[in-house]
A and B are shown apart, each in its own frame.
Chain A
Amino acid sequence: EAGVAQSPRYKIIEKRQSVAFWCNPISGHATLYWYQQILGQGPKLLIQFQNNGVVDDSQLPKDRFSAERLKGVDSTLKIQPAKLEDSAVYLCASSLRQGAGGYTFGSGTRLTVV
């Protein structure tokens, strides 16, 4: 079974620029999550999709972050404009269903804002 694919692996941008991350979940996984992991901290949920609908985006900074999941498969997360404090690893995860054992994480995109 192929894992969760994310790209790019690394990205360096200047503050106020925009950036986009891409995620391809495991085939057949209906639920997709974006997490932000700041260095030295645990991952924090930004947004959860069930198929192509948003289940939870309560912690997404909507003034600068946006995400979409067209056709219920791939997803993109965008930041515009970026701030220094957005420097973090952005992790995508997917699961067949909501529940304890079902989450599989990708390796993440490491974003550095300078």
Chain B
Amino acid sequence: QKEVEQDPGPLSVPEGAIVSLNCTYSNSAFQYFMWYRQYSRKGPELLMYTYSSGNKEDGRFTAQVDKSSKYISLFIRDSQPSDSATYLCATLGAAGNKLTFGGGTRVLVKP
């Protein structure tokens, strides 16, 4: 079993729709949870991170963590064609020395 799992997609939505992305993880020791966005031929860039359970909002992006079910979510409101990318969830243990990524979900927002 992989430590962090994501549906690879692709997830295709019309412009303006809400994009809903999910990850599950297996190691209860993970403390930090992150979402990265990766455009084609670019490195991942950090979108959001949360510590432990709860919600965090930043503009059109909302991240949720449910540690009881080991479930991580990212919601993108009012999606734009520029949001078309691969979204990677990642986790970090309390020691903070190893970022573990899911396989990524490819998102396509159609004008």
Interfacial residues, chain A to chain B (CB-CB below 8 A): 4, 33, 40-45, 48, 55-56, 91, 93, 98-101, 103, 105-108, 110
Contact = CB atoms under 8 A, between A and B. Distances in A.
B41 interface: yes
Contact of A107 (B42, B46, B51, B100): B42
B46 A48 contact: no
B99 A103 contact: yes
Interface string B98-111: 11111110000000
A42 B92 contact: no
B34 interface: yes
Interface of B: 4, 6, 8, 32, 34, 41-46, 49, 51, 88, 90, 92, 95-104
B97 A93 contact: no
Nearest to B96: A98
Contact of B43 (A55, A99, A106): A106
Contact of B8 (A4, A40, A93): A40
A43 B97 CA distance: 15
A105 B39 CA distance: 12
Contacts of B32: 99-100
A108 B98 contact: no
Contact of A101 (B46, B95, B97, B100): B46
Given A45-B99, A56-B97, A100 B49 contact: yes
